[in-house]
């Protein structure tokens, strides 16, 4: 079994929270990784003892060599958990983006452009594209990510998008209810029947989650409730796209159905905030969308002050947010949404893990998966303080270094 000791860490974000410090910060720290798990976390001065204990405590054969990494006083954080992406698609919408920057507004209907390009792409083309995105995520420190379907919108296409997504992550979400495809424009009830019936049957075996875009121009509250209930009856966990383009029922439905997460949360009533605060549903904020659509940013401060658990995610997709950069999400959340750097880093790691109902990632603690990012910076604050600068120096996922 391989072992890595990362020592001389100037600032370690464990996310094992203490009162007043949800990031569970340690200074002058070390982390010992054995196999794919974190074996020990503690003061750097005690690291040699911990390593020696491990070297002696193996199964009776030769002690294992421990690779020592000197962090040089720099910061280490948990790998980012990006709990919301749409990474299986064909084509792009650069022209739509350019038109928007020239004054047009964002509309959900643009999704249909990507649906056409995705249907026209072969499995291998989609797989190749997806694998490029996975490399992009890893290089930026993301070690856990969710992927949604939603650009197929036929039984066969949604099934293949879920199958391709499942090749790269266990966190696959069925989003057949992304928009009503053009061929069903005049019979949307038939499309809802399809999604809640045969499409769900085909996609559920590849999926962990179900999601609905609950918004004017996408799916109504009644349609949303029906589709989510069908998914839950098949054993899928619930996620909701809600309150992105205006006030609506997304948050209400998500909380009522015990969703793991309601995502966007840009337009919230006081009742929405109060019900989120009283629930286990995470509010996942996606500031790449507001950046790229020129909508107002969600008010993270209002949510956190009310006691809501907040996650940050990229929403990487070709329409509303074509970026996979979690450091950019942190910078936007701090600059535009009232989050402190510590809150934003927590939300991009432990918050994402909560949104996926995972306790094995998003923390640096014994027994957790060894997902670690060494920053080329002395503190995590630099992620917001130096926007656009590639500060992710080295990344380990499950104890293996990603290059
Ligand atoms: O999360 N809001 C719905 N779906 C995506 C956008 C998809 C697209 O524009 O292609 C989102 O923003
Ligand atoms: Fe999305």
Q: What's the pLDDT tens digit per position in 129-168?
A: 999 999 999 999 999 999 999 999 999 999 999 999 999 9
Q: What is the pLDDT of residue 62?
A: 61
Mutate to test the pocket of ligand 1, among 97, 175, 213, 264 (most ligand atoms within 8 A of CB): 213
**Which ligand has the nearest atom to the CA of 85?**
2
pLDDT in tens, 6-31: 999 999 999 998 888 999 999 999 99
Complex ipTM above 0.85? yes
Mutate to test the pocket of ligand 1, among 118, 288, 317, 323 (most ligand atoms within 8 A of CB): 317
Q: What is the pLDDT of residue 63?
A: 61
Q: Is the pLDDT of residue 393 over 60?
A: yes
Q: Is the pLDDT of residue 109 over 90?
A: no
C-alpha closest to that of 165 among 82, 87, 260: 87
Q: What is the pLDDT of residue 349?
A: 98
**289 CA: nearest ligand 1 atom:** 12
Crossing angle between the packed helical segments 123-139 and 155-166, to the nearest 10 degrees: 40
What percentage of the chain exceeds 90 in pLDDT? 92
Q: Which residues contact 284 (CB under 8 A, 6 or more apart)?
A: 83, 84, 261, 262, 263, 264, 265, 310, 311, 312, 313, 351, 352, 355
Are 150 and 176 in contact by the 8 Å Cβ rule? The answer is: yes
Enumerate the known binding-site residues for Fe(3+): 84, 86, 241, 315
Enumerate the known binding-site residues: 84, 86, 93, 151, 178, 241, 244, 315, 317, 319-320
Q: Is the pLDDT of residue 187 over 60?
A: yes
Q: Average pLDDT for residues 379-388, to the nearest whole number? A: 98
Q: Which residues contact 102 (CB under 8 A, 6 or more apart)?
A: none
Q: Does domain 80-355 have CATH number 3.40.1360.10?
A: no
pLDDT in tens, 193-224: 999 999 999 999 999 999 999 999 999 999 99
- CA dist 245 and 303 (Å) reads 18
Q: What is the pLDDT of residue 53?
A: 84
Indicate the average pLDDT of the chain. 96
C-alpha closest to that of 32 among 4, 64, 58, 65: 4
63-77, 113-127, 289-303, range with the lowest pLDDT:
63-77
Q: Which residues of 86-102 are buried (b: 16+ CB within 10 A; e: fewer)?
A: bbbbbbebeebbeebee
Q: How far is the CA of 17 from the centre of ligand 1 (A)?
A: 33
- CA dist 93 and 90 (Å) reads 10
Residue scoring higher pLDDT (79 or 403): 79
Q: What is the pLDDT of residue 55?
A: 76
Q: Average pLDDT for residues 325-351, to the nearest whole number? A: 98
Cβ of residue 146 lying under 6 Å from some atom of ligand 1? no
Query: 3-79+362-402 and 80-355: same fold?
Result: no
The ranges assigned to domains in the chain are 3-79+362-402, 80-355
Q: Which residues pair with 214 in a beta bridge?
A: 219, 242
Are 371 and 143 in contact by the 8 Å Cβ rule? The answer is: yes
| pLDDT band of 108, cuts 50, 70, 90 | confident
Q: What is the pLDDT of residue 59?
A: 54
The CATH class given to the 3-79+362-402 domain equals mainly beta
**Which ligand has the nearest atom to the CA of 288?**
1
**Residues in the chain, how many?**
403
Q: How far is the CA of 14 from the centre of ligand 1 (A)?
A: 32
Residues measured by CB to lie within 5 Å of ligand 2, the ion: 315
Cβ of residue 289 lying under 6 Å from some atom of ligand 1? yes
Q: Is the pLDDT of residue 312 over 60?
A: yes
pLDDT in tens, 41-69: 999 999 988 888 887 765 566 667 899 99
Q: What is the pLDDT of residue 51?
A: 86
Q: How far is the CA of 111 from the centre of ligand 1 (A)?
A: 7
| pLDDT band of 254, cuts 50, 70, 90 | very high
């Amino acid at each position: 079994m391989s072992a890595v000791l990362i020592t001389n860490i100037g600032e370690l974000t464990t996310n094992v929270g203490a009162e007043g410090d949800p990031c569970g910060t340690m200074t002058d720290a070390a982390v010992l990784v054995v196999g794919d798990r974190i074996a020990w976390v503690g003061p750097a001065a005690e690291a040699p003892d911990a390593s020696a204990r491990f070297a002696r405590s193996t199964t009776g054969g030769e002690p294992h060599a421990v690779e020592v990494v000197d962090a040089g006083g720099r910061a280490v954080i948990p790998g980012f958990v990006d709990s919301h992406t749409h990474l299986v698609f064909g084509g792009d919408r650069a022209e739509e983006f350019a038109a928007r920057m020239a004054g047009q507004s964002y509309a959900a209907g643009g999704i249909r452009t990507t649906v056409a390009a995705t249907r026209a792409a072969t499995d291998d083309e989609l797989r190749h594209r997806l694998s490029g995105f996975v490399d992009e995520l890893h290089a930026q420190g993301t070690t856990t990510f969710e992927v949604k379907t939603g650009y197929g919108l036929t039984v066969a296409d949604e099934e293949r998008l879920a199958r391709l997504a499942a090749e790269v992550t266990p966190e696959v979400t069925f989003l057949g209810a992304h928009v009503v495809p053009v061929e069903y424009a005049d019979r949307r009830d038939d499309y809802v029947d399809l999604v809640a019936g045969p499409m769900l049957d085909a996609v559920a075996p590849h999926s962990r989650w179900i999601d609905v875009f609950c918004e004017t121009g996408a799916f109504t509250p009644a349609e949303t409730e029906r589709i989510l209930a069908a998914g839950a009856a098949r054993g899928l966990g619930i996620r909701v796209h809600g309150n992105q383009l205006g006030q609506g029922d997304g948050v209400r439905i998500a909380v009522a159905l015990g969703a793991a997460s309601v995502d966007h949360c840009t337009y919230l009533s006081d009742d929405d905030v109060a019900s989120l605060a009283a629930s286990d549903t995470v509010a996942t904020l996606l500031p790449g969308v507001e950046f790229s659509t020129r909508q107002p940013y969600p008010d993270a401060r209002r949510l956190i002050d009310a006691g809501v658990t907040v996650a940050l995610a990229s929403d990487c997709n070709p329409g509303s947010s074509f970026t996979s950069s979690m450091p950019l999400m942190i910078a936007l959340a701090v600059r535009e949404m009232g989050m402190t750097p510590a809150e934003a880093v927590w939300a991009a790691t432990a918050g994402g893990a909560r949104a996926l109902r995972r306790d094995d990632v998003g923390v640096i603690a014994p027994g957790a998966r060894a997902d670690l990012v060494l920053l080329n910076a002395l503190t995590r604050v630099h992620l917001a303080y130096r926007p656009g600068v590639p500060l992710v120096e080295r990344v380990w996922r499950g104890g293996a270094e990603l290059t």
